Structure 1
Amino acid sequence: MEDFVQLLKKLSEARGPSGFEDEVREVVIREMEPYVDEVVVDKWGNVIGVKRGSSDYRAMVAAHIDEIGLVVDHIEKEGYLRFRPIGGWNEVTLVSQRVWVRTSDGRWIRGVVGSLPPHVTPSGREREAPEIKDLYIDIGVYSREEAEKLGVTVGSVVVLDREFAVLNGKVVTGKAFDDRVGVAVMLYALRMLEKLPVTLYAVATVQEEVGLRGASVAAERINPHYALALDTTIAADVPGVGERLHVTKLGKGPAIKVLDGGRGGLFIAHPGLRDHIVKLARELGIPYQMEVLYGGTTDAMAIAFRREGVPAAVISVPTRYIHSPVEVLDVEDAVNAAKLLKATLERTTPEIVEKFLDKRVK
């Protein structure tokens, strides 16, 4: 389990907001190359590892490498940076945070999200939640010219500055577990894979947080016979939340998705593939949870309805405080997700795939 922890740490601490995933991509390539036959990086930056199996049937596994971020849209004359979100933020989590700002020459410099101290906050507004438009980043300069001399411009991207840490035993915290833990699960499973009945395309996707962009491009290229997405899911097993709304719980195993989505429409996992994964979990004694999530979706949504359609399902890692600087998960849930992924890839034969592809076959 310690080797998984170290892998997740490397991935979590790498900086890669949507559209600027370069640093994470380099980690993924180094970790993936020893365990696949070929690595390809496509035009948008998806990393595709190909591991050939005993048939020409194609399985696609997707986990996204981007994290939510910010982008500078104005520099005040005093040097403060105004910004807009990349992906889904709760503004409350940004107040008083340290951040990294990417300069025009690719360096990262530190800053902080400034806020008024309570001593001078207008009366009655002390406990108001701020809006992003009212927040700013202080990089320790005194003018717009000084900020620009450091290489900060309109368009500079920003991510949180937060270290990975172990809370207790196998429970860990850090930024960007959504979805660096899915990437870690994919890479960890690659290390364990033995004989494959189909050819595997393991894809570290880009720009998931802004519309599932990378997975759409990769699925068109690969045209898989079936697909699995790996991502985090909500674990709201915290004080003040009723059990019905927990979605999943930490320490109870990976989740096998039934459906997810929201106002933009629901993704319903392919029933045959989903039930196949459940059956394997039971046979192997891997603990699991069933996931029904109203809100948020994964790369599976983008993959499932490419071309003639792709049977797609999702294995999720329960995670608390998603889209915050202090996401929390149980490493054992993630390792069990990797074991379940391994079993699915090794035991989904062309004959089983054909049953997914033809709804008339029972």
Structure 2
Amino acid sequence: MRLLQRLTEANGVSGYEHEVRDIVRDELQQFDVHIVGDGLGSIFGEKKGTSEKPRILLAGHLDEVGFMVSEITKSGYLRFTPLGGWWSQVLLSQRVIVLSGNRKFTGVIGSKAPHVLTVEERNKVYPMKEMYIDIGAHSDSQVKEWGIRVGDPVVPTCPFEILPDQDTILAKALDNRMGCYVALEVLRRLQVEDHPNTVIAGATVQEEVGLRGAQTAAYAVDPDIAFAIDVGIAEDAPGQENLLHPKMGEGPVITFLDATMVPNIGLRDLVLDTAAENRIPIQSETMLGGGTDAGRFHMNQRGVPSLVVGVAARYIHSHVSMVSKKDVENVVELMVKVIQKIDEKKYRELISFLH
């Protein structure tokens, strides 16, 4: 788990993914692959198997949700704007890191003590536009002296930890450093295992702000088939128990529907059948809100059969998240087995709509 720890503890909000990309590049350079990317910063390792076609894209995304400094007040506080989707209730009194050049500044998202709240304030959700970050500065000139500027990224902070059950991983940015980890681990496995295709595995940029890297990456690498490896929503907390919704620790999650894509049915069935053959437990998800990079992958050029495969995660889009180590390992195993099945004949079956 050292690689996943490095990935989650690295700082990389949308548009500022270089720290995470450097880790992915370091890993890719250990493999027998050709490193490719796009003009926005997405990065992949391309490995040819026993055939050049079909080209299979396996992608996590480098970026995590975070913030950007939007204003420096006269008193030295920082106003901020979100990068990605946030619920304001999870923010108050949380620690953050402000990144400015090569320097890092610890801050806290300010909040009033309960003793001084009015009755009206106690009963309302505090809006993000009224929040600020306190970095211990006393004036705007001191902030500028330290080199902090409007436009600098702000990243949540949370150390990586495996909890006492030896399965639950607690960390920030598991959405979607988990996907980056899976892509790298699949590529590592394929260094010694045959596959009848070419695999392009790695991660995109700027998924959290509108699937932007997915659009440019798909154009750059020109896949025939694409898998977005991402997290699903675990709905297994008190008050959310629903037998039909994904639960942490009960297997990889296949997304049957989201706001950006209806998957290729043949590809979906291939993954479900492969899971059954290898006794890998599977969960399904339908989600009308939100989407993944597959929402862009599947519309590239003439159309790309695509699917979202991932793990159920708790507390995403906050400072902390949880996934099951067993689920992550099962996603790696499942993707290796699926990739080993997809040859040119199988690809043609997936797109044979005219026959």
For 1:134, the equivalent position in structure 2 comes to 130
For 2:198, the equivalent position in structure 1 comes to 199
TM, length-normalised to structure 1: 0.94
Structure 2 unaligned residues grouped into runs of 5+: none
Residue 119 of structure 2 aligns to a residue whose secondary structure is coil
Q: CA deviation at 1:300?
A: 0.5
From 342, 354, 360, give the equivalent of 2:348.
354
Give the ranges of 4+ consecutive aligned residues of structure 1 lying more than 6 Å apart after TM superposition: none
Q: CA deviation at 1:294?
A: 2.2
For 2:154, the equivalent position in structure 1 comes to 158
Cα contact 1:160–1:325 (8 A) shared by 2: yes
Cα contact 2:38–2:220 (8 A) shared by 1: no
From 111, 116, 125, give the equivalent of 2:107.
111
Q: Which amino acid aligns with 2:67?
A: L
Q: Which amino acid aligns with 2:252?
A: P
Q: CA deviation at 1:120?
A: 1.2
Cα contact 1:48–1:202 (8 A) shared by 2: yes
For 1:100, the equivalent position in structure 2 comes to 97
For 2:44, the equivalent position in structure 1 comes to 48
For 2:228, the equivalent position in structure 1 comes to 229
Cα contact 1:247–1:293 (8 A) shared by 2: no
For 1:319, the equivalent position in structure 2 comes to 313
Question: Are 1:77 and 2:71 matched, yes or no?
Answer: no
2: distance between equivalents of 1:342 and 1:99? 37
Q: Which amino acid aligns with 2:137?
A: V
1: distance between equivalents of 2:329 and 2:119? 50
Residue 142 of structure 2 aligns to a residue whose secondary structure is helix
1: distance between equivalents of 2:157 and 2:97? 6
Q: CA deviation at 1:101?
A: 0.3
Q: What does the per-residue CA deviation read over 1:67-100, in whole Å, with 9 as the maximum and x for residues that have no partner?
A: 0111111100000000111110011111101100
2: distance between equivalents of 1:293 and 1:224? 25
For 1:296, the equivalent position in structure 2 comes to 290
Q: CA deviation at 1:333?
A: 0.3
Aligned counterparts, 1:221-300, within 5 A: 221-243=220-242, 247-261=245-259, 266-300=260-294
From 304, 311, 328, give the equivalent of 1:334.
328
Cα contact 1:182–1:317 (8 A) shared by 2: no
Residue 294 of structure 1 aligns to a residue whose secondary structure is coil
Closer, same or farther: CA 146–211 of 1 in aligned 2, 3 Å: same
Q: Which amino acid aligns with 1:231?
A: D
Q: CA deviation at 1:106?
A: 3.1
2: distance between equivalents of 1:135 and 1:316? 33
Q: CA deviation at 1:242?
A: 4.3
Q: CA deviation at 1:33?
A: 2.0
2: distance between equivalents of 1:346 and 1:277? 11
1: distance between equivalents of 2:123 and 2:133? 20
Q: Which amino acid aligns with 2:24?
A: V
Q: CA deviation at 1:197?
A: 0.7
2: distance between equivalents of 1:251 and 1:179? 17
Cα contact 2:37–2:221 (8 A) shared by 1: no
Aligned residues: 351
2: distance between equivalents of 1:33 and 1:247? 39
Q: Which amino acid aligns with 1:120?
A: V
Residue 45 of structure 2 aligns to a residue whose secondary structure is strand
Computed over aligned residues only, the root mean square deviation of the Cα atoms, in angstroms, reads 1.3
Structure 1 unaligned residues grouped into runs of 5+: none
From 8, 30, 54, give the equivalent of 2:4.
8
2: distance between equivalents of 1:60 and 1:172? 26
Question: Are 1:149 and 2:145 matched, yes or no?
Answer: yes
TM, length-normalised to structure 2: 0.96
Residue 144 of structure 2 aligns to a residue whose secondary structure is helix
2: distance between equivalents of 1:27 and 1:61? 17
